[in-house]
Amino acid sequence: MTNSINEFEDADLFFVTGTNTTAQHPLIGSRMINAVQQGAKLILVDPREIQLAGFATLHLRQNIGTDVAVMNGIMQVIIEEALYDREFVEKRTEGFEELKSVVSRYTPRVVEQITGIKAADIVAAARLYAEADKAMIVYAMGITQHVTGTDNVKTCANLAMLTGHVGRPGTGVNPLRGQNNVQGACDMGALPVVYTGYQKVIDPAVKTKFEQAWQVEGLDDKAGLTITSMMAAAQRGDLKALYIMGENPLMSDPDTRHIELALSNLDFLVVQDIFLTETASLADVVLPAASFAEKSGTYTNTERRVQISHKAVEPPGQARADWEIIQEVCRRAGYPMDYRSPDDILQEINRVTPSYAGITLDRVEKEFGLQWPCPNEDHPGTAYLHKDKFTKGLGTFLPCDFKPLAEVPDEEYDFILTTGRVYYQYHTGTMSRRIELLEREAPEAVVEVNPDDARRLGIRNNDRVELSSRRGTITLKAEITQRVPHKVVFSTFHFREAQVNLLTNPAHDPVSGIPEYKGCAVKIRRCA
């Protein structure tokens, strides 16, 4: 997030898209509801009628995968009606003419045809967003999990910059992170192209810096493989060994059957986890790890706040903290390591990571965490980014054209399947399905079907249905609900009994590598 969680309490307008916030980030969703009840406006762009729809000033139910067109349409109106922030555009951005020329084609009428949103609503949304004083764009995986995910994100940024809704409290572009330490994993360089703090692996100066810090020679200076490419490389036979820590790609990755082939094609698979997950069951070696309650360390939340968590209980049996296991593997591989505690590691992170330099154990113990960038021990941390200038200087508009879903419905596969989570379950269910109350509330996989479609297909509430894509078939229970629009069905990836990722399309964004979980073609029929 460019901005902070507490700023949700005093923003004037939220532009919310691709996030079912009350279910997935409940304490951010609640802040939006409270703000709306105090008079803030809410523009919700989401095909589903989620809880926030009940609070929306405007609910734009776009055809799935048309987000770029929606936002280009809004920008077209803002430019056409001269509602944009001229001063901000002139002083702080570049590329406005290119943006103008791209979005000029997206008149409300054209956008209505692509997105299914009424032209008048596009105009209304444009005026509301542009005229608000403090407007926050809020998004999550509904935006990013498309083959056009990067374009979607760029377009969000274009919209914020065009109206000067960035660099002040209560504004900005605010992706909500789905896991408690996704932000931290990225910050710590668990990415194929960067070391900690987004220092690029291809930069020779950075390479030298880490060679010195780590006392090694010849660090790899080429970009590594993303998770999606790793699976492809394994399938081709180029990748021989995979070491997985605390992930369950067999359930979470698209097109499960291909993932299974890829993993079984490896010479060696090691999985380090707290449970014997679906993925761990395929491993050659499984290492038992400690859970969050059984170790200490820091986590970075969606607003870049680094917070400390302490050890409350001992790990079960012989399980060990992940850092202890990794250290032992490194030692045995001939690399000396002698960290006595997570704090020793944090000190090294402080030394090699400019944005984390001031985030010391001492400070996170005393204060309620610190938000990076925090370049030194006297720095108070940063509540919102891009205050007077963007990291790179001027903000560049990166206009994008609309591109359709990788797999659009046809005569046979005539529905779009979009996937996500429900409130009571979490990700692949490894943790939440072992919590009795949560499991009671959401015990099985359900597919949401619109009432008109259900009537036509002879499906009644709670009927078992068969859902198939070109990649697989699952059977699960139907819930007949207005929450989904016509010709769209929604389901979740929590349940191993009906793995929705057997169906999803592995086609992915060329830049980020994110697969298109949010839309693939399926057919549905009532089980005999």
Binders of another protein among 290-349, rule CB under 8 A? 291-303, 305-314, 316-323, 325-330, 332-335, 339, 342, 345-346, 348-349
Residue window 57-96: x/- pattern of binding to another protein, with contact defined by CB under 8 A: ----------------------------------------
Residues 367-396 that bind another protein (CB under 8 A): 367-369
Omega cis (within 30) before 316: no
Find all residues with CB under 8 Å of 108, minimum gap 6, and list them: 73, 76, 77, 119, 120, 122, 123
Backbone angles phi, psi at 254, to 5 degrees: -70, 155
CA dihedral 353, 394, 43, 100 (to 10 degrees): -150
Q: Can you tell me which of 58, 83, 233, 398 binds another protein, judged by CB under 8 A?
A: 233
Binding mask 117-156 vs another protein (x if CB under 8 A, - otherwise)? ---------------------------xx-----------
d(CA 461, CA 480): 5
Residues in the chain: 528
Residues 14-33 that bind another protein (CB under 8 A): 22, 24-31, 33
Both tokens of residue 9? Answer: 């309490």
420 binds another protein (CB under 8 A): no
CB of 314 to another protein, least distance (A): 7
- On whether the CB atoms of residues 85 and 158 are closer than 8 A, the answer is no
Q: Of these, 55, 96, 402, 413, which contacts another protein (CB under 8 A)?
A: 55
Contact at 8 Å (CB) between 85 and 159? Answer: no
Residue 144 in contact with residue 18, Cβ under 8 Å? yes
Task: Say how far apart CA 268 and CA 282 lie, in whole Å.
Answer: 10
Q: Output 7 or 85, the one with its CB closest to another protein.
A: 7
- Judged by CB under 8 A, the number of residues near another protein is 155
Binding of residue 253 to another protein (CB under 8 A): yes
Site for another protein (CB under 8 A): which residue of 81, 133, 203, 365? Answer: 365
Q: How far apart are CA 221 and CA 483, in angstroms?
A: 48
181 binds another protein (CB under 8 A): yes
Spatial CA neighbour of 196 closest among 383, 339, 350: 350
489-528 residues in contact with another protein (CB under 8 A) are: 512-515, 517
Between residue 445 and residue 484, which ones bind another protein under the rule CB under 8 A?
462
Residue 230, interface with another protein (CB under 8 A)? yes
Least separation in angstroms between residue 448's CB and another protein is 16
Residue 270, exposed/middle/buried by CB under 10 A (0-12, 13-18, 19+)? middle
Smaller CB separation from another protein, 89 or 141: 141
Q: Does 232 bind another protein (CB under 8 A)?
A: no
Residue 242 in the binding site for another protein (CB under 8 A) = yes
CA 314 to chain centre: 32
261-300 positions binding another protein, by CB under 8 A? 267-268, 270, 273-276, 280-281, 283-289, 291-300
C-beta closer to another protein: residue 243 or 390 = 243
Which three-class secondary structure state does DSSP give residue 460? coil
Tell me if 234 sits within 8 A of 246, measured CB to CB.
no
Of 161 and 306, which CB lies nearer to another protein in the complex structure?
306
